[in-house]
Amino acid sequence: MRMTWLIAAALGVGTGVLAQEIVEIPASEVDVSKPEDLYKLEPDQWHLARQLWAGSEPCSPTQCEAGFTSGDLVVSAEHNAGTVTIIAALRGCPSTAFSELDVGDKASKSERGKVAKQVQRVVKGLAKTCKITPPVVPALAGDWLFPSSTSG
């Protein structure tokens, strides 16, 4: 039986320097799957919805997903009840990269910036694991995942 591995990209903070640690975890031990539904989105731009797989319902202050696709790459950044889960996958590569950040529903400007940077780290970790040059992913504005109650 062929087992799919998930790659967790985690942030380590020490002496003011951020470092990325890549840990292989069997898929059976985590509740993360490739966001294959995002391949149907228009490529090379970020899309936002409460849940992209369910349609285009506007984001709420406590639930929002940003999705991106570019050829073989898919990236999902989902805010749900105080946690942001970032998932990246490539067609033809059995690994899936993911990271979870606990930011709360009203994430600070600093926490929102960490979300945006972590998207790039997850993609870079996936590319390293899949042994490819990382695809270009436009910056995700961390604010997108945290709309005010009046905007959506």
Question: Whole-angstrom Cα distance, residue 39 to residue 89?
Answer: 10
Number of separate domains in the chain: 1
Residues 6+ apart with CB under 8 A from 28: 3
Q: Report pLDDT digits (tens) over 33-81.
A: 888 899 999 999 999 999 999 999 999 999 999 999 998 999 999 999 8
Our measurement of the distance from residue 23's CA atom to the centroid of its chain's CA atoms, rounded to an integer in Å, reads: 16
Q: Report pLDDT digits (tens) over 100-131.
A: 999 876 788 889 899 999 999 999 999 999 99
Whether residue 12 lies inside any domain: the answer is: yes
Whether residue 74 lies inside any domain: the answer is: yes
Whether residue 152 lies inside any domain: the answer is: no
Full residue range of the structural domain in which residue 77 is found: 5-145
Residue whose C-alpha is closest to residue 143's, from 107, 103, 119: 107
Whether residue 151 lies inside any domain: the answer is: no
